[in-house]
Amino acid sequence: MAGPVSLPALAQTAEKPDVTLGVGGKALLYYLPLTVAEKKGYFKEQGLNVTINDFGGGAKSLQALVGGSVDVVTGAYEHTIRMQAKGQDIRAAIELGRFPAITIAVRKDLADKVKTAADFKGLKIGVTAPGSSTALTAQYAMVKAGLKATDAAIIGIGAGASAVAAIKQKQVDVISHLDPVTSKLEADGDIVVLIDTRTEAGTKALFGGSNPAAVLYLKNDFAEKNPVTTQKLVNAFMKALKWLETAKPEEVADLVPQEYLLGDRPLYLRAVKSSQEAYSRTGIASADGMKSMYDSLKLLDPELTSSNVDLSKTFIETFAKKAQSGS
């Protein structure tokens, strides 16, 4: 346990107490640390008033950050690499997820024909939103299996009940998605999971290493102009990660808004249990994990193949280190 926060840190007032935060699919367990920080009052405790804007997928929250309509984003780490490659100084300040926790599954009625990503050619793949990490993971699996990233249609199906309906109504053949959507479809017998990055073993099987997943990211100049605000945001997320480390699935289900349970509490409990391994323990992405992510993006995205991104510029460690020590 970290000791009590030292008085100077508490005495410091945030430069920008009113913060707008973008997220792509808040109900997903991928973003659970955000909901924990919000519902447990950790932002308020830090003297922050955080307004959360929920967009359909990660690509949209990134656009909002670049366009200036949000200050910070909880989203996939890979966006920091992409933006650095484009000369935009966007960095992560704390790691929330250490494994992507994305599963790729096929509709049960197609499971005898579709056994690996090599069989995805010509199919419709449902993702949270095109350009988001669920889409990229599906495309990466295809490229790794010898197909082109364009060999299947990528279709945005949103993050909650709409994603469940897309499989049940056969609008898509394959789904690259996250819990609780995956667990719901698994429990109902609608899908067969082919690739599972909720665990370390599954993540290594696809990516060859751990892969930083959800992070809090922001423009570097926001962190430089608002160091106290940024520190307070990171402190709140760190507290959420610490709470999640020992929380029982029942406590999580009691905390989140009822609609997150997709009308099935026992199923949500199972989903929480299967996702708990994926949350970051330290708040700091490992160098190996960042490299593994960059290598997979280079393979997938022609724009990044010959890029030369300094990975140390994709993650500011100082805030998470300070939050850990409680100083």
Per run of 10 residues, the mean pLDDT along the chain (length 327 residues) is 48 92 94 98 98 90 96 96 96 96 97 98 96 92 95 95 96 96 95 94 89 96 98 98 96 96 92 92 94 90 91 97 86
85 and 107 fall within a common domain: no
pLDDT of res. 167: 98
Last residue of a domain, one of 139, 170, 196: 196
Q: Which element (helix H / strand E) includes 107?
A: strand 103-107
The set of residues, in sequence order, having a beta carbon less than 8 Å from that of 306 and lying 6+ positions away, is none
Last residue of a domain, one of 196, 227, 253: 196
- Contact between residue 73 and residue 21 where contact means Cβ atoms under 8 Å apart: yes
Give backbone dihedrals phi and psi of 231, rounded to 5 degrees, phi first.
-60, -40
Q: Within 10 Å of residue 146's Cβ, how many Cβ atoms? A: 10
- Residue at 203 is within a domain: no
Q: How many domains does the chain have?
A: 2
**Rounded to an integer, what distance in angstroms lies between the CA atom of residue 171 and that of residue 19?**
38
216 and 312 fall within a common domain: yes
pLDDT of res. 1: 47
116 and 254 fall within a common domain: no
- Residue at 201 is within a domain: no
**Rounded to an integer, what distance in angstroms lies between the CA atom of residue 318 and that of residue 61?**
24
**Rounded to an integer, what distance in angstroms lies between the CA atom of residue 169 and that of residue 281?**
38
Query: Judging by DSSP bridges, how do beta strands 153-156 and 191-196 pair with one another?
Result: unpaired
pLDDT of res. 272: 95
pLDDT of res. 10: 54
95 and 178 fall within a common domain: no
152 and 283 fall within a common domain: no
- Residue at 2 is within a domain: no
- Residue at 202 is within a domain: no
Dihedral angle sign, alpha carbons of residues 296, 302, 303, 306: positive
- Residue at 150 is within a domain: yes
277 and 320 fall within a common domain: yes
Closest C-alpha among 256, 285, 283, 281 to residue 268: 256
| Domain carrying residue 150 | 103-196
Closest C-alpha among 136, 155, 138, 164 to residue 271: 164
66 and 147 fall within a common domain: no
115 and 90 fall within a common domain: no
Q: Which element (helix H / strand E) includes 74?
A: strand 72-76
HEC readout, 151-206 = CCEEEECCCCHHHHHHHHCCCCCEEEECCCHHHHHHHCCCEEEEEECCCHHHHHHH
pTM listed for this prediction: 0.88
Domain of 138: which CATH number? 3.40.190.10
130 and 79 fall within a common domain: no
224 and 133 fall within a common domain: no
108 and 72 fall within a common domain: no
Closest C-alpha among 238, 123, 131, 137 to residue 178: 137
